Structures are given as structure tokens and as C-alpha cells.
């Protein structure tokens, strides 16, 4: 536990006081936690959920209890492990098991050969030879090696996704497709529903584009509307925040929800559907607070434009069509959602056409393929722009990958940090210290509060989600979930929203760009995100209770 506290202090102090880059703060904290973790704890974490306790023997039979979720349960070579405290001198008996039989009374393993008289395995743990050797190798490896391997595993999960999402966002901005989406939604809803158009537009754009970029894009439109109407500037600014901020923490492929989903083995499609489902309630709550706040306070437009064109919408004739513009966002979500549905209700595989349909949906719905298709569509909107050259396309993609590369570094360091926390075996310690009643909704509340505390201390929503998942997942593994793990991922995303203040970069982006004072930003942006985060979390609780999807 001391190693984890030290690691958290390094992250918080490094980001907050020393102004270190988030990657460096996470990386240094990861090395410290790895170096301070005893090899026995690493071994224990490597065998977590992969063992079964031997409680009795008879003839060629072993009676097993507490069978882990990832226990092999297949015929083959197994190890009987008695003492895991001394990794360097660890000894285990090797046996061969021909068959496993599960019943209500427990699990029985049938041995190929009789046990020797001096090798009584009762009270020991049974683990497959492959899992045992892998765990021992991990425990004996150096801290730096474990950190490097964990970083590589994180990249394998989400590195390509972040790169593709960065390309989608950059190309939508450079081609004018993002602005076309905003204009199209606003025109379809009408002038009187401009704020609703801003909410919908910013929510859609925040799925592939970072929130601060969405805010930069849409703020000139809000300022233009405030000049045209002469009022409601605060409402226009808040409508952008209402739509864009929750998608940033709940809907992949933005890094936070993408990383949390991968750590919990939640499909990207399920995370996207769940994020939209609970995020809508946060958006509704934020929308009503926006209306109330706009009636209570009036914040004037204080930003003076130097060039008239800066706050004016682009010429519609120079922008791609609305349908073409929105394809890079809609198509990946459609493929991911279709694959999620198909996994639950697949076509009949015995039918040739059904088998082809399943394989096609599985291929297109693969997270890397779906996002790559979206990136190709986004690049198409840019290359078809008037006067655009292949050199210009190359520069836009290069800029996107440069920005995405930084995000990948931070996320991989965060993934390694979470893995090093898991290797301390803290999950078992926390789970044992919690009351027996803490399960289900109690675990959701814990995930929400842990993320909220980290968010308030160090400011970044993404870093808070990355740090929290390393603490929450081991506890969830020990306690077990009575609902789909997507709800735990959503609770962490909701916890990253409340109480943003001066240590949050988004706070200063909104304050300085919109012309709000610090006090005005606190009572608009900070209160708004707090209300939305709590409302979305309550929606998550209700959904977990009513629709557990176990």
C-alpha cells in the first residue's frame, strides 16, 4: 500500500507542482511502484484467478474449491504450489491431469498417476504449468522490464485506435467537415433551437475529436450568434460544454474511455452504446442547468475579434456535404455497434450465408478495422477539398499523428502504472478490508469516488481515469460483478467529470477563450460538469440495477 501511495504522490505532485508532462510523471511513478513491489506479490498477482485450492484427495482424484475464473480446467500438466513467499527458491510438484468434472458440490480433477506418499497436496494450490511458469518469469524479471512489457501491452490494445482517432479528428477539422456538421444540424433544427444544435454538434464531434479542439472550433460560432442576437452569450458557450464534455469521458475512441474499456475487457461498441445511453441523462441535466443559469446571470461577450472572418461561418459551398462529413464518425460507430449486437444474437452459422455474414460483421466490427475505415473516410473529405494536394493531406495526417503520439505515450505509461499497482496485489487487500456488503452498486460508488478524488487533486480527467482503473480493477476481480463490466467503466468515466477547478487545463481554456472571469467559470463550467457527472452516474446505477446484462 505504501508503494501505491508513493506512486500517487509522484503523479499528483509531478503534474500539479513540478509541472511535469503527464507521461513523465506517470512513468517515474510506475518505476517507483514496480521497484517497491516484492517478487512474492508479483507472483501472487500473476497467479490471481488462475488457481484452485486442493481440499481433499482420494485414489486418483483431487477435490477442488475456489476455482479461479481463469483457471485452465483442461487436461494437461499442472503444478502443485505450497509456498509462494520465497520466489527465488520456489518449488512445485508437477502432475498430469486427464479430466475435470464440475458439479454443484465442486470440481474434481482425475490424475493420470498416483501421488507419492510424501507429496500430500491438501491445502496447496493447483495451477496449470504454463500459467505457473509465466507467473514465475514475471516475478523474477526486473522492474524496468515489467514496466516496458506493460507499456507494450497497453499499446497493443489501444495504440492504433488513438492514432486513427487523431487522424479522423484532424481531417474533419482541416476539410471543414466538422463545421458542416454544426451548420447542418443547426439548419435542420432552426434558428430558435440553436443551443440544442450546438449541444448535438459538440457531442457528435467530441467522439473522435478532443474536447478542447471542439471548443476551439465551435466558440466562433457561439460568438457570432451572440453578436447577432445581442444576448445569451453564456448560454451558447455552455451549450458547447454540455454536448462535448461527457462524450470525452464516456464514448470511445477518446483515450480515457478507450483505455478503461480495454482494461475491463469491454468491447468498444458496448462502451460507446453505454456511454451515449447514460451520457444523455447528464446532457439533459446540464441543459436544464444551462437554461436556469442563463436566466439568473448574464455574461456579456467581452472578446473583440480582429478579423471579421474569424467568427463567421465558412462559405457552405466550400464545405463537403453533410452526409459525407458525418460518415467518418457514424460508420465506425455503426460497425462497432453491429458487431456488439451480432456477438449476442449471431446469424445461424450452419447456414452458409449466415456464416459469411458473421465473419464479415466480425471483420468490419473489429475496433482497429472500424476506426481505420473511419480514418480513410476522413482523409477522403480532406483530399476532395478544393485546391487540396497530397502534400497537404500528408501534413494534416502528420500533425494528427504527432498529437496522437503524445496521447499514446501518456496512455501507455498510465497502462503500465495500473499494471504495476495490480502487481502489488492491492486488490485482495482492499477487498478483504471492505465490508461484505460492498458489492455491486457499492463498487460502482467506490469507482466513482476514487476517480473523482484523483480528478480533483491533479486536474486531468484522462489521467484520473487511467489512475483509478489500476485501483478499481483488482478490487472488482476479487469481489466479482453482478452486472456487465461496462457499468464499472461508465462509473469511472462519470467520476472524472465533477469539481473541475484551476488545476484543470480545460478550466483555463474555457475561461480565457470565452472571456469568462475565474468566478464566472467556476459557477458555469465547474458546477455544470459536477451536475452532469452526478446525473450520469445516477443513470449508471439505475441501469446496472434494472438491466445488469450479466
Instruction: Evaluate whether residue 8 is within a structural domain.
Output: no
Side-chain-side CA neighbours of 438 within 13 Å: the count stands at: 16
Instruction: Reply yes or no on whether the pLDDT at 458 is more than 70.
Output: no
Strand partners, 128: 78
Instruction: Evaluate whether residue 95 is within a structural domain.
Output: yes
Instruction: Reply yes or no on whether the pLDDT at 311 is more than 50.
Output: no
Q: In the prediction, which pLDDT does 310 show? A: 38
Q: In the prediction, which pLDDT does 316 show? A: 67
CATH number at residue 123: 2.40.10
Q: Are strands 61-65 and 106-111 parallel, antiparallel or unpaired?
A: antiparallel
446: its cell numbers: 467506490
Side-chain-side CA neighbours of 188 within 13 Å: the count stands at: 13
**What is the SS3 assignment for 97?**
strand
Instruction: Evaluate whether residue 52 is within a structural domain.
Output: yes
Which of 361, 387, 436, 350 is closest to 174 using CA atoms? Answer: 387
For residues 48 and 428, give the distance between their C-alpha atoms in angstroms, rounded to a whole number.
9
CB 69 within 8 A of CB 157: no
Instruction: Reply yes or no on whether the pLDDT at 355 is more than 80.
Output: yes
For residues 384 and 375, give the distance between their C-alpha atoms in angstroms, rounded to a whole number.
14
Q: Please, what is the angle between helix 426-433 and helix 390-423, to 10°?
A: 60
Instruction: Reply yes or no on whether the pLDDT at 412 is more than 90.
Output: no
- Number of domains forming the structure of the chain: 1
Instruction: Evaluate whether residue 54 is within a structural domain.
Output: yes
For residues 134 and 513, give the distance between their C-alpha atoms in angstroms, rounded to a whole number.
52
Between CA 238 and CA 248, with CA 242 as vertex, the angle to 5 degrees is: 130
For residues 240 and 203, give the distance between their C-alpha atoms in angstroms, rounded to a whole number.
8
Q: In the prediction, which pLDDT does 537 show? A: 96
Q: What is the DSSP letter of 321?
A: P
141 — pLDDT class (breaks 50, 70, 90): very high
265 — pLDDT class (breaks 50, 70, 90): confident
For residues 511 and 519, give the distance between their C-alpha atoms in angstroms, rounded to a whole number.
9
Q: In the prediction, which pLDDT does 170 show? A: 82
Q: What is the DSSP letter of 98?
A: E
Q: In the prediction, which pLDDT does 213 show? A: 67
Side-chain-side CA neighbours of 105 within 13 Å: the count stands at: 6
Instruction: Reply yes or no on whether the pLDDT at 372 is more than 80.
Output: yes
Domain with 121 in it: 47-140
Q: Are strands 92-103 and 52-58 parallel, antiparallel or unpaired?
A: unpaired
Element (H, E) at 103: strand 92-103
User: From the CB of residue 84, how many other CB atoms can be counted at a distance below 10 Å?
Assistant: 20
Instruction: Evaluate whether residue 466 is within a structural domain.
Output: no
Q: Which residue has the higher pLDDT, 204 or 287?
A: 287
Instruction: Evaluate whether residue 212 is within a structural domain.
Output: no
61: its cell numbers: 482424484
Distant-in-sequence contacts of 333-337, Cβ < 8 A, 24+ apart = 333/207, 333/269, 333/272, 335/361, 335/364, 335/365, 335/369, 335/370, 335/373, 336/267, 336/268, 336/269, 336/272, 336/365, 336/367, 336/370, 337/269, 337/272, 337/273
Instruction: Reply yes or no on whether the pLDDT at 526 is more than 80.
Output: yes
Q: In the prediction, which pLDDT does 176 show? A: 83
The pLDDT tens digits of the residues spanning 19-34 come to 788 788 889 988 998 9
Greatest alpha-carbon pair distance for the chain in Å reads 92
At 99, give phi and psi (nearest 5°). Answer: -160, 145
Instruction: Evaluate whether residue 374 is within a structural domain.
Output: no
Q: What is the DSSP letter of 516?
A: -
Q: Phi-psi category of 459—alpha, beta or left, where left has phi over 0 and alpha has psi -120 to 50?
A: left
Alpha-carbon torsion, ordered 470, 471, 476, 477, to 10 deg: 60
Q: In the prediction, which pLDDT does 426 show? A: 66
Q: What is the DSSP letter of 523?
A: I
Instruction: Reply yes or no on whether the pLDDT at 538 is more than 90.
Output: yes
Q: Which residue has the higher pLDDT, 544 or 426?
A: 544
Q: How buried is 379 (Cβ within 10 angstroms: 0-12 exposed, 13-18 middle, 19+ buried)?
A: buried
76 — pLDDT class (breaks 50, 70, 90): very high
Instruction: Reply yes or no on whether the pLDDT at 119 is more than 90.
Output: no
- Looking at every residue in the chain, the average pLDDT score rounds to 83
At 110, give phi and psi (nearest 5°). Answer: -100, 120
Task: Using the CB atoms, write b or e for 353-377: b if 16+ within 10 Å.
Answer: eeeebbeebeebbebebbbbbbbeb
Q: In the prediction, which pLDDT does 540 show? A: 95
Over residues 181-202, the mean pLDDT reads: 79
Residues in CB range of 310: below 8 A, 6 or more apart: 220
For residues 521 and 486, give the distance between their C-alpha atoms in angstroms, rounded to a whole number.
32
Q: Which residue has the higher pLDDT, 496 or 119?
A: 496
Output the CA–CA distances (angstroms, integers) from residue 498 to 460, 494, 514, 527, in the order listed. Answer: 11, 8, 21, 8
Render 104-159 in DSSP notation, one character per residue: TTEEEEEESSPPPTT---TTSEEEEHHHHHHHHHHHHS-HHHHHHHHHHHHHHHHH
Distant-in-sequence contacts of 36-40, Cβ < 8 A, 24+ apart = 36/2, 36/3, 36/6, 37/3, 37/143, 37/420, 37/423, 37/424, 39/87, 39/88, 39/139, 39/140, 40/84, 40/85, 40/86, 40/87, 40/139
CB 275 within 8 A of CB 282: no
Instruction: Evaluate whether residue 53 is within a structural domain.
Output: yes
Q: How buried is 463 (Cβ within 10 angstroms: 0-12 exposed, 13-18 middle, 19+ buried)?
A: buried
Q: Please, what is the angle between helix 390-423 and helix 255-263, to 10°?
A: 40
Amino acid at each position: 500500500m505504501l508503494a501505491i501511495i508513493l506512486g500517487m504522490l509522484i503523479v499528483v505532485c509531478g503534474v500539479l507542482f513540478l509541472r511535469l508532462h503527464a507521461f513523465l510523471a506517470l512513468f517515474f511513478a510506475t518505476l517507483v511502484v514496480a521497484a517497491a513491489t516484492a517478487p512474492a506479490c508479483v507472483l501472487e498477482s500473476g497467479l490471481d484467478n488462475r488457481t484452485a485450492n486442493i481440499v481433499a484427495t482420494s485414489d486418483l482424484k483431487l477435490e477442488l474449491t475456489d476455482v479461479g475464473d481463469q483457471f485452465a480446467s483442461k487436461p494437461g500438466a499442472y503444478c502443485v504450489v505450497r509456498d509462494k513467499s520465497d520466489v527465488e527458491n520456489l518449488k512445485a510438484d508437477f502432475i498430469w491431469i486427464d479430466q475435470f468434472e464440475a458439479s454443484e458440490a465442486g470440481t474434481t480433477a482425475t490424475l493420470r498417476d498416483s501421488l507419492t506418499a510424501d507429496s500430500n497436496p491438501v491445502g496447496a494450490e493447483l495451477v496449470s504449468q504454463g500459467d505457473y511458469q509465466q507467473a514465475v518469469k514475471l516475478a523474477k524479471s526486473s522492474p524496468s522490464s515489467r514496466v516496458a512489457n506493460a507499456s507494450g501491452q497497453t499499446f497493443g490494445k489501444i495504440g492504433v485506435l488513438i492514432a486513427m482517432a487523431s487522424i479522423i479528428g484532424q481531417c474533419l477539422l482541416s476539410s471543414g467537415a466538422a463545421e458542416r456538421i454544426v451548420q447542418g444540424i443547426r439548419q435542420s433544427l432552426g434558428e430558435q433551437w440553436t443551443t440544442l444544435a450546438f449541444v448535438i454538434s459538440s457531442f457528435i464531434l467530441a467522439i473522435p475529436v478532443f474536447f478542447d479542439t471542439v471548443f476551439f472550433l465551435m466558440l466562433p460560432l457561439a460568438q457570432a450568434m451572440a453578436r447577432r442576437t445581442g444576448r445569451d452569450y453564456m448560454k451558447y458557450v455552455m451549450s458547447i460544454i454540455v454536448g462535448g464534455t461527457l462524450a470525452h469521458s464516456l464514448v470511445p475512441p477518446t483515450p480515457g474511455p478507450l483505455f478503461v474499456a480495454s482494461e475491463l475487457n469491454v468491447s468498444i461498441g458496448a462502451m460507446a452504446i453505454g456511454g451515449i445511453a447514460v451520457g444523455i441523462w447528464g446532457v439533459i441535466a446540464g441543459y436544464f442547468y444551462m437554461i436556469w443559469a442563463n436566466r439568473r446571470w448574464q455574461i456579456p461577450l467581452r472578446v473583440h475579434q480582429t478579423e471579421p472572418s474569424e467568427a463567421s461561418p465558412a462559405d457552405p459551398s466550400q464545405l463537403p456535404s453533410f452526409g459525407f462529413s458525418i460518415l467518418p464518425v457514424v460508420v465506425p460507430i455503426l460497425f462497432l455497434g453491429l458487431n456488439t449486437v451480432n456477438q449476442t444474437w449471431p446469424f445461424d452459422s450452419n447456414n452458409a450465408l449466415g456464416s459469411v455474414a458473421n465473419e464479415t460483421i466480425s471483420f468490419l466490427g473489429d475496433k482497429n478495422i472500424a476506426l481505420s475505415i473511419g480514418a480513410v473516410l476522413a482523409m477522403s473529405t480532406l483530399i476532395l477539398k478544393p485546391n487540396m494536394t497530397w502534400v497537404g493531406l500528408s501534413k494534416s495526417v502528420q500533425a494528427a499523428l504527432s498529437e496522437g503520439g503524445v496521447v499514446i505515450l501518456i496512455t501507455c505509461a498510465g497502462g503500465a502504472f495500473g499494471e504495476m499497482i495490480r502487481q502489488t496485489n492491492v486488490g485482495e487487500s482492499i477487498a478483504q478490508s471492505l465490508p461484505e456488503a460492498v458489492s455491486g452498486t457499492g463498487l460502482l460508488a467506490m469507482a466513482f469516488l476514487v476517480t473523482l478524488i484523483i480528478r480533483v487533486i491533479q486536474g486531468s480527467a484522462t489521467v484520473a481515469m487511467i489512475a483509478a482503473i489500476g485501483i478499481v480493477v483488482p478490487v472488482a476481480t476479487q469481489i466479482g460483478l453482478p452486472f456487465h463490466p461496462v457499468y464499472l467503466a461508465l462509473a469511472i468515466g462519470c467520476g472524472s467529470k465533477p469539481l473541475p477547478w484551476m488545476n484543470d487545463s480545460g478550466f483555463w481554456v474555457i475561461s480565457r477563450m470565452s472571456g469568462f472571469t475565474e468566478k464566472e467559470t467556476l459557477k458555469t463550467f465547474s458546477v455544470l460538469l459536477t451536475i452532469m457527472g452526478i446525473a450520469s452516474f445516477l443513470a449508471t446505477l439505475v441501469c446496472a440495477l434494472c438491466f445488469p446484462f450479466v
